[in-house]
Structure 1
Amino acid sequence: MSKKCKIIVYSIAASIIALIVLGLVKLIFFSGIFWPMISLKGDETMKWQIHEAWKEPGYEAQFRFQDHPEAVDVSTTLNVDRFGTYEIRYCYEGKHCKVRTVEVVDEKAPFITLEGDSEIRIFENETWQEPGYLAVDDHDKDISDQVKVKGEVDTDKIGTYKLSYVVEDQSGNKASAMRYVEVCEDPTRMKLHYQFDEYDNTMEEWWIHKSEDHKRNTAAKDRDFLAQYDAYYIGEDEKVIYLTFDEGGNNETYIKEIVDVLNAHDVQATFFFTLNYVRDHPDFMRELLNEGHLIANHTYHHYDMPLLAQEETIDRFVSEITEFEKTYMQVTGKKTEKIFRFPKGAMSERSLKIMQALGYRTYFWSHAFYDYGPTISKQEALTSMMEHYHNGAIYLLHPSNKGNYLAIADFIEAMQEEGYRFGLVNEIGSGN
């Protein structure tokens, strides 16, 4: 071996020996054999959110192969309510110390809460009034007065407007929120050009031949006649039943109890309301929509609509419909789905045509009974429901009847055992 190679080999060997010796030195002197060794859990340099309670990451202390955490004294001037850089000292019996550095900072963004909904519908030519907002920061507290609102709402122009809410705290942390305001055409401003004299205005009250042996039945008008006016009294020939309830604000009603039963069975129904009921029960209206039920138009005053289907009263006819639409939107913030039922089933060909011109689909029924009598029992209600069910049946029920309320759960369960599902009437004639 050459001299040069020997030198290289000796150098490598020396380096290895040095590393071994250094490792032994560290093991001896830093393993707590000759003096205590303190080791910190977590990072030795940390950032901590201002005002957040300090949570000690922990530490360990060893001396002569024994754990002695109780011998460690922890001291600090840390103030989590004040910005700054602080030290935490961990000392074994007052000496042999370890230091952790903690910087108190503000890295948490403030929080913006919008008053009112994030999506709002208002009518054209109304005055836009900002519902308000609240901005809160962990350090700066209420900073609502520092929120900047970008965007404008022009109520003279129909459209959707975006409002942006931005706030920044003293540490430069930002938060934002968005609101969309849709300016809608006021339905009550609608004028319908009268051109309906060619349509018969003879008033008829809806009637049905009750189903026998669960066969599909006939009624006051046949399906083909009704279909040309987007009107229906029965669904398709399949195992589906449509529960509908007419409610005009009776003094006694079991509607909320009925809805509880429907919700418990995960069944949705269609509710035909007059304006006063929608106006007077806003929270209930929103609950119905949240549960997937359908709220439909039953006019403002529950009039016999053919009496208004004249040139001189056409504005009143339209108002009966559009006033409901406006109230519905004010209460729910949503546009009305244009589904209609004539009060008492009183209709004429002309009134059907006018409703079609207003963009509505009209729904009658294929089963009903004298359920608005106050003494109808659960058994009477259930018997009528069970004896006359048929494919595509639209049931007219009144929530003022306690018998309906008591019978509805049994009826739902019996129909589901027969393989029927329950639907909303808007699927009839929808084209889907």
Structure 2
Amino acid sequence: MKKFLLFILLSLVFLLTLSNISHAFSLITDDTELNWYFVNRESGKTPEAPKESIDFLREYDAYYVGDTDSKVLYLTFDQGYENGNTNKILDILKEEKVPAAFFVVKPYIKTEKNIVKRMVEEGHLVCNHSSHHPSMATILDNEKFSKEFTEVEEEFKTLTGIDMPKYFRPPMGKYSKNSLKKTKALGYKTIFWSFAYKDWLVDNQPKEDYAIKKILNGVHPGAIILLHSVSDTNTKILKTVITELRKEGYEFKSLKDLPE
């Protein structure tokens, strides 16, 4: 009798949980602000994308992984501001012949002209991270939305004389179905990530051994890696990480090589 009552109780809890999940998803609209995340599986396996958006990521050219059938990695950096590390990172990438994508905001282009020009000259992609770093999901006015892209494009072209590559990283990982749709309409691919860790707090940097282990254990075939160049730790460990990943059979590719 007790086992039967326990079974009934657990069944009710399960049904209530399903009901709550269903209700939560029913409240999501095309303009609902969502937060990017991924669910890790066992080491070396592709993480799962958010359940609330997995159905429409591909429709709107949104990537969080690349070629998951090959041991390839895509290295990306978010450039909110300069902390004295980017030239050191570029030195390592040049020495190791590794391509990377740097997602920049408009103020970064204005204040770090020489670094941005160096990125381009050395074959890296300098990509769009918005003009003012807002949550794109909250900008419902189409003109304001577009300006977050075009102001960065114009600043970049004024500096370099070339068009900005059409890759966009949503600030703070915030997005909506409509923001992805509008981003695609502007000709962009949205680039999320399948690996990141807490590396951006300049006054609370992770230990080097921890960071190396975290990255090596977190990557998988086709991983889009997000690092922050403000991190002193990332700068110190980057060469080691590249070397160790190559030992494991990985190669680094450009976002230009993402599968269609």
Q: TM-score interval w.r.t. the shorter chain?
A: 0.7 to 0.9
Equivalent-residue separation in structure 2 for 1:223 and 1:267 (angstroms): 30
The corresponding residue for 1:304 is: 135
- Structure-to-structure mapping, 1:201-280, within 5 angstroms: 201-220=31-50, 225-237=56-68, 238-250=70-82, 252-280=83-111
Structure 2 Cα separation of the partners of residues 231 and 396 of structure 1: 15
Is the counterpart of residue 384 in structure 1 residue 220 in structure 2?
no
After superposition, what is the alpha-carbon deviation per residue over 1:271-295, rounded to whole angstroms, capped at 9, x for unaligned? 0000111122222222111211111
Q: Is this contact kept in 1: 2:200–2:228, CA < 8 A?
A: yes
| Equivalent residue for 1:325, pick from 140, 153, 157 | 153
Contact 2:86–2:115, Cα closer than 8 Å, also in 1? no
Contact 1:269 1:294 in 2 (8 A): yes
Post-superposition Cα deviations, 1:205-262, rounded to whole Å, max 9, x if no partner, equal: 1011134221111122565521100111001121001110001114x34121111111
Matched, 1:291 2:122: yes
Within the alignment, does 1:398 sit opposite 2:197 as a pair? no
Distance 1:327 1:377 in 2: 36
Q: Which whole-Å deviations, capped at 9, do the CAs of 1:316-336 have from their partners, x for residues lacking one?
A: 111110000100100110011
Q: Is the 8 A contact 1:210 1:367 kept in 2?
A: no
Q: How many residues align?
A: 228
Contact 2:57 2:63 survives alignment (8 Å): yes
Q: Is the 8 A contact 2:56 2:177 kept in 1?
A: no
Match of 1:336 among 146, 156, 164: 164
Letter in 1 for 2:123: G
- Write the deviation string for residues 321-378 of structure 1: whole angstroms up to 9, x where unpaired: 0000100100110011111010010000000000011111101000011111232122
- Alignment-derived partner of residue 241 in structure 2: 411
SS in 2 for 1:249: coil
> 1:421 matched to which residue of 2?
251
Other structure's SS at 1:406 match: helix
Deviations 1:139-178 (A, max 9, x none): xxxxxxxxxxxxxxxxxxxxxxxxxxxxxxxxxxxxxxxx
Does the CA contact (< 8 Å) of 1:341 and 1:363 recur in 2? Answer: yes
**What SS does the corresponding residue of 1:272 show, helix, strand or coil?**
strand
Question: Residue type matched to 1:381 in 2?
Answer: A
Q: TM-score scaled to structure 1, two decimals?
A: 0.51
2:144: which partner in 1? 316
CA deviation digits over 1:72-113, x for unaligned, max 9?
xxxxxxxxxxxxxxxxxxxxxxxxxxxxxxxxxxxxxxxxxx
Larger Rg: 1
Could you tell me which runs of 5 or more consecutive residues in structure 2 were left unpaired when the two chains were aligned.
Answer: 1-28
SS of equivalent to 1:367: coil
User: Counterpart of 2:188?
Assistant: 360
Please tell me whether the aligned partners of residues 377 and 402 of structure 1 are also in contact (alpha carbons under 8 angstroms).
no
- For residue 102 of structure 2, give the secondary structure of its aligned residue in structure 1: strand
Q: Deviations over 1:38-80 (max 9, x none)?
A: xxxxxxxxxxxxxxxxxxxxxxxxxxxxxxxxxxxxxxxxxxx
Instruction: Show structure 1 runs of 5+ residues with no match.
Output: 1-198
User: C-alpha distance in 1, partners of 2:255/2:55?
Assistant: 18
Shift of the alpha carbon at 1:427? 1.9
Q: What is the alpha-carbon distance in structure 1 between the residues aligned to residue 144 and residue 93 of structure 2?
A: 36
**1:137 counterpart residue number:** none
Distance 2:231 2:112 in 1: 19
User: 8 Å contact 2:101–2:127 — kept in the other structure?
Assistant: yes
Aligned to 1:91: none
Distance in 2 of aligned mates of 1:245 and 1:236 = 19
Equivalences for residues 39-78 of structure 1 within 5 A: none
Superposition TM-score, scaled by structure 2 size? 0.84
Q: Which runs of 4+ in 1 moved over 6 A?
A: none
Deviations 1:390-429 (A, max 9, x none): 0000111011111111111111001111111101123214
Structure 1 letter corresponding to 2:150:
T
When the two chains are superposed, the root-mean-square deviation of aligned CA atoms in Å is 1.5
User: Which whole-Å CA distance do the structure 2 matches of 1:397 and 1:329 have between them?
Assistant: 25
Aligned letter for 1:201?
A: D
- Looking at structure 1, the residues matched to 158 and 126 of structure 2 have their Cα atoms a distance apart, in angstroms, of 14
